[in-house]
Chains A and B, each alone.
Chain A
Amino acid sequence: MTLELTLVIAALLFVIGVALIILRRNLIFLLLGIELLFNAAMVIALAGGARWHSVTGQVLVVFMMALSGAALALTLALLLRVKQELGGDTVDDLRQLREEVDE
């Protein structure tokens, strides 16, 4: 029962993360949604490790934490650069990049 509820929590985190990415316009909330997606994957890995009494789940989670931290540092740096260059931090501000390419 515990593991089933854990998988429900993971699914919930995944749905919330995808909804944040799709629905919100602010790029900060988009990054928060990506972090939630990473956390959903981590919950599933830990549930698998607990189910089969294996240490591999925890090792996978440690690597996922490092990867999500690396991705977040890079994307936050890009976000600050976008703010400097384009003067905004929403998805609509990024759209003008595509218009410049189209022209």
Chain B
Amino acid sequence: MMIFLILLLLLIILTTGAALLVVRDPMHGAVNLGVSLLALSILFLVLGAPFVAALEVMLYVGAILVLFLFAIMLLRTSLTTREEPRWRRGFWWPAVLMVLLTAVLILLFSRRPDLLVVIQEIGPGTVGRALFGPYLWLTEAVALLLFAVIAAVLAIHRRDDHDA
């Protein structure tokens, strides 16, 4: 049963990746990347890493994808109002992705105890003790790096007179 689940995840990642290569609209690319990231979070759950799976949903789908959406909206040149037909076209691809994700959820919740037989789960407590134990200085370094990134982004977008 787990093999089916992983093969389904492989299929989802393959199709969304292929769609990423061919879509024209960056917004469609963001949608495909989001579905691919959701499939990856299920894969992380299967690999016995529930903390990282939750982080993948919260950080990647919740933060990084939204950052992409902001950038896409800011980069859009003009708001062209086209004459739209009554029914939206092109809804079949998101519908296919929804069906695939629903199949993943059904597979995941129908045989939940089977999933953790092969791979031993490492919970958030162990990860937290490692992060704030032997890797504490590395965690602080990442915090410092994120602060530096904030400063760098502010410096990039600074507007003053001698600025080109």
> For the complex, is B107 an interface residue (Cβ under 8 Å from A)?
no
Of all chain A residues, the one with the shortest Cβ separation from B30 is: A32
Q: On chain A, which size bracket covers the interface?
A: 35 or more
> For the complex, is B59 an interface residue (Cβ under 8 Å from A)?
yes
Interface on chain A toward B: helix, strand, loop, or mixed SS? Answer: helix
Contact of B49 among A58, A70, A80 (CB under 8 A): A58
> For the complex, is B145 an interface residue (Cβ under 8 Å from A)?
yes
Of all chain A residues, the one with the shortest Cβ separation from B159 is: A84
* Shortest Cβ gap from A21 to chain B (Å): 11
Q: Is B71 within 8 A of A76, CB to CB?
A: yes
Q: Is A49 within 8 A of B122, CB to CB?
A: yes
State the A residues within 8 Å of B (CB): 1-2, 5-6, 8-9, 12-13, 16, 19-20, 23-24, 26, 28-29, 31-32, 35-36, 39, 42-43, 46-47, 49-50, 53, 55-59, 61-63, 65-70, 72-74, 76-81, 83, 85, 89
What 5 additional pairs, Cβ within 8 angstroms, besides A16-B17, A29-B26, A67-B142? A2-B6, A16-B20, A20-B21, A31-B68, A58-B49
